[in-house]
Amino acid sequence: MSDEASPAPASAARPTAEDPRPLISVLIASRNRPGELAKAIQSVLDQDYASPFEIVVLDDDSDTPLEQQIASELPSNRVQWLRSDSPSGVSGARNRLVGSASGELLVFLDDDAWFVGTDELQKIERTFDSQPELGVLAFKIHLGEVGSSELQVPFTRRALKADPQLADRARQVSYFVGAGHVIRRQVFERCGPYPEEFVYGHEELDLSYRAIDSGFTLLYDPSIEIVHAPAASQVAGGGKKRFESYYVTRNRLWLAHRNLPWRYAVVYSLAWSGYYLLQSLRHRQLRSWLAAIRDGIFRRNRSERRPISKQARDYLARNHGRLWR
């Protein structure tokens, strides 16, 4: 099977007797993590949800096909299995899943994450039904276990420190965390896919900018909860620190170039480059940082520049978005 990402199909309508396509598609990409993947899938199968839904899993070039390893453990024919012949990267894998799904609401779940409750899909459907302008829904993500003091939520540490109850209230936000989220299909149709050239890191921020600029809102709903227990990166391989130092630095520069007016892009780029320089020195990855700066500047023209509007900047200012000038 080709490892090329498929384009997103036409919008899927709400299922009817004549159109049995599922309203919700749960999308999971995985590589060499059969145990974690089985737990993630089971948490979806355990959902108390009467409407049609599907689970689409991309085996992203695992050494041994994941379907062979765990399909027999999952007493369900609800899972649609895909397989890539070479690693796709985070964005590429997600785009391929979107292209193979038929749902209107696309629920992305990391393979090392799982739903806390059994009514999460019900909550997701109700939330989108009540808010037609909603483009992206962010979950409350517990790091490691339920009740953990560490959360992965779309707020800065400073904002959480200033308002300890912030993570317990539903509200509009400026971005989402990739481990668990929902995207309405129309967002991809209007804004385009995840940026595959990013490979790893900040692809959610890039899509958030484009969604907001296109008039969609992003909502954080703490009543929808998952646990994320990050396993060793299968994208980065053994050189995780070097890999992250390069991609997160380079992608911040591309992110600013693609989405921000110049007066914001310059300050944003300098601030984040300085932050990642300190991180690279701490982890002895200065060469990776220098390579990221080089490629972030001299290869940036490969990324189309579409600065966000004043309306989008105002949205970010109201909803904990970080814009500096």
Tell whether 54 and 77 lie within a shared domain. Answer: yes
Q: What is the pTM of this model?
A: 0.89
**pLDDT given for residue 75 in this prediction:** 75
Tell whether 297 and 253 lie within a shared domain. Answer: yes
Burial category of 274 from C-beta neighbours within 10 Å (exposed 0-12, middle 13-18, buried 19 and up): exposed
pLDDT in tens, 208-218: 999 999 999 99
Tell whether 201 and 76 lie within a shared domain. Answer: yes
pLDDT in tens, 79-98: 999 999 999 999 999 999 99
Structural domains of the chain, count? 2
Place of tokens 């490629």: 295
In a domain, 19, yes or no: no
CATH of residue 94: 3.90.550.10
Nearest-5° Cα angle at 239, 235 to 245: 85
Tell whether 134 and 275 lie within a shared domain. Answer: no
pLDDT-wise least confident of 34-43, 97-106, 281-290, 301-310? 301-310
The C-alpha atoms of residue 180 and residue 111 are separated, in whole angstroms, by 10
Strands 105-109 and 24-30: parallel
Tell whether 175 and 292 lie within a shared domain. Answer: no
In a domain, 265, yes or no: yes
| Count of residues making up the chain | 325
The C-alpha atoms of residue 134 and residue 183 are separated, in whole angstroms, by 9
In a domain, 234, yes or no: no
pLDDT in tens, 111-158: 999 999 999 999 999 999 999 999 999 999 999 999 888 999 999 999
Tell whether 217 and 101 lie within a shared domain. Answer: yes
Which pair of structure tokens corresponds to residue 152?
């992965």
Alpha helix stretches (DSSP H) within the chain: 34-45, 66-70, 89-100, 120-130, 157-162, 185-191, 203-213, 240-259, 262-282, 286-298, 310-318
Q: Domain limits at 286? A: 240-305
Tell whether 78 and 144 lie within a shared domain. Answer: yes
The C-alpha atoms of residue 139 and residue 177 are separated, in whole angstroms, by 8
In a domain, 318, yes or no: no
Cβ-Cβ contacts under 8 Å for 50 (sequence gap 6 or more): none
